[in-house]
Amino acid sequence: MRGFLAQPPTMADTKTISAASCRLSARLFNYLSIGTTLLSASLYSLGQLLGNTKVAFLPLAMSLPPVMIWVAASMFVYAAIAHHPNLRVQHFNKWAGYRYYAIIGLLTVVANDAAHVVGWGGIWIFFVLALVPWASYDIWKAGKEEWQDTVYEAQ
């Protein structure tokens, strides 16, 4: 008599992820990082135009919430894509996360002191110039890659 733990091997269901879905997943973190960075920089510029001496904090108050929201949301996007069955998707996601979190971490540490030297506008220029071209290149590189449908066993 077999024990109740010993189950006969069963055929697992297989599922397919399309090549287009893999390509989108590989690009998603970069798309959202660029979008929030450009939105925040635009809001900073708008705050500069609207602000005066009475509301000098307006540019930062307008520009930081999208970054903070994306930092929190990006952890969920990163975690969701980190376990993708396609290893190339994982690779693109890993480097997009490394890049974004490194830039955010650097700015968290040095931005306040550096703002006294180059101003907050200079900090935003650095943020945009450090992230957008590099992430755009990664999006382009993921688009040039030959993507295949990914078949995996569903559990």
With beta carbons less than 8 A apart as the criterion, state whether 16 and 151 touch. Answer: yes
Report domain extents, the chain. 28-144
What's residue 136's pLDDT?
96
Average pLDDT for 43-70: 83
Cα-based angle 147, 152, 153 (whole degrees, multiple of 5): 175
Confidence of residue 147 (pLDDT cuts 50, 70, 90): very high
Average pLDDT for 124-151: 94
With beta carbons less than 8 A apart as the criterion, state whether 81 and 25 touch. Answer: yes
